[in-house]
A and B are shown apart, each in its own frame.
Chain A
Amino acid sequence: KQEVTQIPAALSVPEGENLVLNCSFTDSAIYNLQWFRQDPGKGLTSLLLIQSSQREQTSGRLNASLDKSSGRSTLYIAASQPGDSATYLCAVNNFNKFYFGSGTKLNVKP
């Protein structure tokens, strides 16, 4: 069964820093990997989706990479802002089943 791990579990940084969130998974036979953002008490919002044939995806200040063979993905956030404070989750898609990590809780201090 697929297992998804995210480290660190929590991260606190000053505004303006660049940061990297990590996601690892045990079964490399995935269709795609997705990064989500979750604000407290809310649902999930999709940030980036990387297909298994792709190496990275970019959206604004966000860049996600995928190394399927090593079972790893990173989410890079450039020039962090207080509005980026949220929990970030990665999810892998194994044939219509989605497996989520427990998330990294990010706090960006003004």
Chain B
Amino acid sequence: DIQMTQSPASLSASLGETVSIECLASEGISNDLAWYQQKSGKSPQLLIYAASRLQDGVPSRFSGSGSGTRYSLKISGMQPEDEADYFCQQSYKYPNTFGAGTKLELK
């Protein structure tokens, strides 16, 4: 199975701060990576697919980058509504696997 190592496990950011979350795959996944946001008590919502493509309706402050085994999600200017858990997922090989998640809080 492809292991997705996500970091950090948690972070706290101030309003307007830029934050980054990383996922390291145990082998190359050819940009077959998505990022999801999950707010408390809600189902996950797609933010980014194909490593860098922004899902329709997602604010442009969210961006994704990376290649090979290293991928990152950046939030350019933390907003109160961005407080949530974030997960990466690879769909390159079966079984698809998720990162352990990052809990993002507003400082």
Does chain A bind chain B? no
Q: B-contacting residues of A (Cβ < 8 Å)?
A: none
